[in-house]
Structure 1
Amino acid sequence: MAVLADSDTRWKWGALTANRVAPAGPGDPGDPAGSGIRLDGYLLRGRATPTARQLGEVGVHADSLREVTAVEFLRAMREESYDLLVLALVGGGVQAMLHGLKRAWEDRPRRPVVVTGYVGVVYEKLADGLLLRHGADLVLANSRQDAERFRAVYEGVGADASAVTEVALPFLGGAAYTGEHEPYTVVFAAQPSVPESRRDRTYLLDRLVRHARRHPEREVLLKLRSQPGEHTTHIEELPYQKLAQRLDLPSNLRLVYGHMGEVLDRTDLLVTISSTAALESLHRRIPTVVLTDLGIRESLGNHHFVGSGCLASWDQLDAGHRPEPDEAWVARQGVAADGSYATAFDAARERIAKLLERPGGPPPLTPYYTPVTAPGYLPGILARHHLGPDGTPLPGAPAADREPGPVRQIVRRAARGAYRHGVQRVAPVIRRMGEL
């Protein structure tokens, strides 16, 4: 099986999903290769291509892993033979690959089963993201609620909704929470793009500092996704590390990296704006808080947690309040805190097995978007990946005839570093100047 991903978080989701839904059954979630099934990883070259440190932190191993352009990947898919392909990409990337793969496989007697989905909570661009993913054999929904919403969107535009398959997040797990640790540990799970403004991010950091000073007997951790200069699924213009450098942090407040599951092993209270870490925490029945300090807004994503029972402010937390999750809400969110996680991927495995057993293999890919249904939208999406309207590589597109030489590799790294420097240093300055 193979996975194509465009960021560290999507690589984690894609590799673990491939392992969970492989018809032979799940192996070690952190080591798909250990299940006896070969896993080849492809990292789509772009602004968020993960670094070696990020890949190591994810903790997912593959038999092979290489960085490719879209055209290089499509050529590899013509040359290699797989039973299962997971597209762990942003919506536009999925749509481009579906059209490119349809073209690349048109003369092959059999093709892999193609699976796609979302890394976490779907709280924005629902219709846009779903229709860009339409055409895959399975579009995975991480919860019962998402499955219902996904089918409603597809059926509402007259598209086939049969690909929607309910599963759960593939990285849930770990021991259930049994009681307070020594010391009591509060973890704030930071997000790279929520909130965006310096004022809001400074406010959240200040409240975390105040909480640590108010409770010197507690250990307070700021869990970070990436180091300055690294990119993840979303662009982070104002890393908390930079903001923290200007503060005198109390001794019981630390900035930490690493695997979220390992951090949750010692967590007594998980606090976030809207991170998927909240679902991981709820799965383990760890006390979980989704902050309301900045409002309950679609732009923050915390509106997804309306009805969860987890909404609270720092003032309430400082006063000793501990929210109790609503069990009915939790049951609809794919959290599987009731012990059902062991069977959460059964339907997806069965569907994949049937497609592989089908005479002639899976049918041709049929995305909803075509030059007929979206003539003003689709060509631009394909062109961003150097593909023409019919999915054929455009003239002059990067090819996979040979590995790039050392000079070209150096230039690529320098260009990527310059881009990240521009995003995190130059862009905020220009934005502030524009506000004068």
Structure 2
Amino acid sequence: MEAGSGSGAQVAPVLDGFLLRGRATPTPRQLAEVGVHADSLSEVTALEFLRAMKRTSYDILVLALVGGGVQAILHGLKRIWEGRTERPVVVTGYVGVVYEKLADGLLLRHGADLVLANSRQDAERFRAVYEGVGADASSVTEVALPFLGGAPYTGEHDPYTVVFAAQPSVPENRRDRTYLLDRLVRHARLHPEREVLLKLRSKPGEHTTHIEELPYQKLVQKLDPPPNFRLVYGNMGEVLDRTDLMVTVSSTAALESLHRRVPTVVLTDLGVREALGNHHFVGSGCLASWDQLDAGHRPAPDEAWVARQGVAVAGPPSGGGSYATAFDAARERIGKALNGPGGLPPLTPYYTPATAPGYLPGILARHHLGPDGSPLPGAPAADRDPGPVRQIVRRAARGAYRHGVQRVAPVIRRMGEL
């Protein structure tokens, strides 16, 4: 979550960051790779965040959370801002490809002033969902993927570099992940003149939004990869700077690669299935198998398909294009909201105790909020800042939880399958 204040040439904007405490709280390494540095950064619970929003004034509030977290914060903000017309503009959306839980995720984000759609296709789908349930769709705002950039691909590097972008939860079983890793290593052996990189999102012990129970780092230990095979971490943009062929199952990295016109393949080896997310790329011209890649196949993306994904705005290979203006509509809407007469109306999420009485209370309770967005009785740290001892205990408990999720739980599950 981010909150910003200050506007105009005379006042430098201030960016405060709040990290919602949980299993996906980013590590310092992951935060450093974002490339945006906050003036202040703190790790908070939902209740601590709401307390900060009650006592501090901001212009813009960006909720960069999973759907349930967005919905809980929206209801909490609605309660603490009751009777206020001067409040921040609340913005949320998605960071990458939306290929699963479309209706569920969208309705959990409903109620924000702006719900950002990363492409024309997403904007159309988002509006259709909201209008289909009778919810206000005016918040949907078309932009582009927020992390695109870098120089367009101009030709092969020396050595020719193949990158496989791994995902923490796709595919999820050991057999399929081992198969993909084996084919990647086999490709490296078949092409010793190439550099073959396995791009990983997180190091052991780190978490992203999705829990990774079978990290490739562990699986590769049972293989004997050739010298031209390496594991890499870090910013995807920096890896793409030296990539000649991007390979993935369904990672958003494919869209980053297409934006820069790097040859991009979405694998069909495990089928084209909704569970894998590669069905999103039907019609892209990028679907292919490892057998085809081993034989030298180079994909050619369908330009019409790419244009609908919010990535073709990079322009032709020579550079230029309209990506720099892709966010102008959102900026204009935010400016009008901040400067409009009478202030902003109350937040009005679609989900209420009347529309979803069997669903919403559980979403809110996970963040110690009642059905009306107020703190539940006995909620931790609802009215005071945590002391140093409490902070130490929290860090220890969080470390134990992460260890249990990533190390202990998978072992117990495998034992249960014996």
TM range, smaller chain: over 0.9
Q: Which residue of 2 aligns with 1:69?
A: 45
Deviation string for 1:241-285 (max 9, x for gaps)?
Answer: 111122222111111111110110010011111111100000000
Give yes or no for the alignment of 1:407 onto 2:406.
Answer: no
Q: Which residue of 2 aligns with 1:149?
A: 125
Q: Distance in 1 between matches of 2:298 and 2:380?
A: 54
Deviation string for 1:112-155 (max 9, x for gaps)?
Answer: 10000011111011111111111100111001000000000111
The alpha carbon displacement at 1:426 in A equals 2.1
The alpha carbon displacement at 1:60 in A equals 2.0
The answer (yes or no) to whether the contact 1:98–1:135 under 8 Å persists in 2 is yes
Q: Which residue of 2 aligns with 1:238?
A: 214
Q: Distance in 2 between matches of 1:52 and 1:403?
A: 22
Q: Which residue of 2 aligns with 1:182?
A: 158
Give yes or no for the alignment of 1:221 onto 2:200.
Answer: no
Q: Distance in 2 between matches of 1:403 and 1:52?
A: 22
Q: Distance in 1 between matches of 2:190 and 2:363?
A: 51
Q: Distance in 2 between matches of 1:401 and 1:104?
A: 14
The aligned amino acid for 1:337 is: A
Q: 1:165 aligns with which of 141, 144, 147?
A: 141
Q: Distance in 1 between matches of 2:298 and 2:59?
A: 47
The answer (yes or no) to whether the contact 2:283–2:305 under 8 Å persists in 1 is yes
The aligned amino acid for 1:361 is: G
Q: Distance in 1 between matches of 2:164 and 2:289?
A: 13
Q: Which residue of 2 aligns with 1:89?
A: 65
Deviates more, 1:407-416 or 1:304-313: 407-416
Give the superposed CA RMSD.
Answer: 1.8
Q: Distance in 1 between matches of 2:385 and 2:200?
A: 34
Q: Distance in 1 between matches of 2:64 and 2:206?
A: 19
Give yes or no for the alignment of 1:46 onto 2:42.
Answer: no
Q: Which residue of 2 aligns with 1:378?
A: 360
Q: Distance in 2 between matches of 1:24 and 1:308?
A: 41
> In structure 1, the residue corresponding to 2:280 is in which secondary structure?
helix
Q: Distance in 2 between matches of 1:121 and 1:64?
A: 30
Q: Which residue of 2 aligns with 1:270?
A: 246
Q: Distance in 1 between matches of 2:325 and 2:286?
A: 26
Q: Distance in 2 between matches of 1:149 and 1:93?
A: 22
Q: Which residue of 1 aligns with 2:318?
A: none
Q: Distance in 2 between matches of 1:281 and 1:295?
A: 22
The aligned amino acid for 1:354 is: K
Q: 1:345 aligns with which of 327, 330, 337?
A: 327
TM-score, with length taken from structure 1: 0.91
Give yes or no for the alignment of 1:418 onto 2:400.
Answer: yes
Give yes or no for the alignment of 1:305 onto 2:286.
Answer: no
The aligned amino acid for 1:272 is: T
The aligned amino acid for 1:96 is: A
The aligned amino acid for 1:340 is: S
Q: Which residue of 1 aligns with 2:346?
A: 364
Q: Distance in 1 between matches of 2:58 and 2:189?
A: 55
The alpha carbon displacement at 1:421 in A equals 2.0
Question: Cα 1:419–1:129, aligned 2, differ >3 Å: closer, same or farther?
Answer: same
Question: Cα 1:310–1:23, aligned 2, differ >3 Å: closer, same or farther?
Answer: farther
The aligned amino acid for 1:149 is: R
The answer (yes or no) to whether the contact 2:7–2:13 under 8 Å persists in 1 is no
Q: Which residue of 1 aligns with 2:78?
A: 102
> In structure 2, the residue corresponding to 1:66 is in which secondary structure?
strand
Deviation string for 1:373-392 (max 9, x for gaps)?
Answer: 11111111111111111111
TM-score, with length taken from structure 2: 0.95
After superposition, where does 1:131-142 map in structure 2 within 5 Å? 131-142=107-118
Deviation string for 1:197-248 (max 9, x for gaps)?
Answer: 0111111111111111111111111111111111011100011111112222
Q: Distance in 1 between matches of 2:188 and 2:45?
A: 45
The answer (yes or no) to whether the contact 2:79–2:373 under 8 Å persists in 1 is yes
Identity %: 87
The answer (yes or no) to whether the contact 1:23–1:350 under 8 Å persists in 2 is no
> In structure 1, the residue corresponding to 2:266 is in which secondary structure?
strand
The aligned amino acid for 1:371 is: P
Q: Distance in 2 between matches of 1:198 and 1:410?
A: 36
Q: Which residue of 2 aligns with 1:287?
A: 263
The answer (yes or no) to whether the contact 1:136–1:163 under 8 Å persists in 2 is yes
Q: Distance in 2 between matches of 1:82 and 1:406?
A: 27
> In structure 2, the residue corresponding to 1:410 is in which secondary structure?
helix
The aligned amino acid for 1:366 is: T
The aligned amino acid for 1:385 is: H
Q: Distance in 2 between matches of 1:161 and 1:138?
A: 10
- Structure 1 stretches lacking a partner, 5+ long: 5-17, 26-34
Q: Which residue of 1 aligns with 2:373?
A: 391
The aligned amino acid for 1:113 is: V
Q: 1:121 aligns with which of 72, 83, 97?
A: 97
Matched residue count: 411
Q: Distance in 2 between matches of 1:92 and 1:400?
A: 20
The alpha carbon displacement at 1:57 in A equals 2.4
The alpha carbon displacement at 1:403 in A equals 4.5
- Structure 2 stretches lacking a partner, 5+ long: 316-320
Deviation string for 1:289-322 (max 9, x for gaps)?
Answer: 1011111111111000000000001110000111
The answer (yes or no) to whether the contact 1:188–1:223 under 8 Å persists in 2 is yes
